[in-house]
A and B are shown apart, each in its own frame.
Chain A
Amino acid sequence: MKNSDLAQMSLLTALALIFGYIESLFPIPVPIPGIKLGFSNIVILFALNRLDSVKAFTVMLLKVFISSLLFGGMSALFYSLAGGLFAFFAMLAAQRSGFGVIGESAAGGVFHNIGQLTAAAIMLGSSAPIAYLPILLPAGAVIGIITGSVCKAVMKKI
């Protein structure tokens, strides 16, 4: 690994962590579990499109582990890992099948929520979380469009 790769990945991981932290200071006032802005996904999306999939995957894993260590706990790690993995592979698949940046991001948002609901169903030992799918799928898509648009704007500049 080149030093410049290491520096890039460290910088992006730090940025993702800061986004995650700032976001946790302003919770969205809806009584639905799992709705958040997902700004740190802008960073992962950027890494996926500007660097390569291995680096983006590394940044995602580091972000998930470090933020759970700093702000969450074991159960937070499980949910955020499930969300992160589902979102990453959805974005990768979307990229490989010729989606645009916004489409990739929307796929990531949707599958992030699918991953978290799957984790919730496993933790609860119940299929009750499926009831949230009709809300969380469109919510993930809308939020994905927003973060995707931000990422697109950023990529135009740098």
Chain B
Amino acid sequence: MKRKDVVFLASILILSAVIYIFLPRGENGGNTVIIKKNGRVFAEKSLYDSCEIDIDGSNTAVIKNGEVYMKSADCPDKLCVKQGAVHDGSKKIICLPNRVIIEVTKKSDIDAVVR
């Protein structure tokens, strides 16, 4: 490898670490499951519900025991199913072929607070 190659590789590693450090972390708590399809909110459920959600016929999400996971998808790779269960805002489930995002966020009953 040439010197420039090594410098490039080192800067990629440093950049990755910097992005990792500054990446916005979802809160640890969270009680609301938000399912987005094509960038729009498709469904909003409580994390403590127990239900199965059909997302436009392409995916099926399941909320159970304070966790949400993708039960099935009609795409070939099924990466969203393999991503497993999510119980807080630190992880999201993404299904690229069907453009579905499932995330858990904190949401109180109050819409807004006026100070």
Contacts and interface: CB of A to CB of B under 8 A. Distances in A.
B39 A126 contact: yes
A38 B59 CA distance: 28
B5 A100 contact: yes
B51 interface: no
A107 B8 contact: yes
A102 interface: yes
A153 interface: no
Contacts of A102: 1, 5
B45 interface: no
Counting contact residues on chain B (CB < 8 A from A), the size range is 20 to 34
Contact of A75 (B20, B83, B97, B103): B97
A25 interface: no
Interface string B82-109: 1110000000101011010101000000
A141 B9 contact: yes
A158 interface: no
A110 B12 contact: yes
A137 B12 contact: yes
B92 A124 contact: no
B23 A103 contact: no
Q: Is the interface of A mostly helix, strand, loop or mixed?
A: helix
Interface residues of A, number: 32
Given A33-B94, A120-B96, A125-B38, A133 B16 contact: yes
Contacts of B62: none
A37 to B, nearest CB: 15
Interface in B4-63: 4-6, 8-9, 12-13, 15-17, 19-20, 23, 36, 38-40
A77 interface: no
Contacts of B97: 75
Given A27-B77, A106-B8, A124 B1 contact: no
Interface of A: 27, 31-33, 75, 79, 94, 97-100, 102-103, 106-107, 110, 120, 123-126, 128-131, 133-135, 137-138, 141, 145
14 contacts: A31-B83, A32-B79, A98-B2, A100-B2, A100-B5, A102-B1, A103-B5, A106-B12, A124-B101, A125-B39, A128-B103, A137-B19, A138-B16, A145-B9
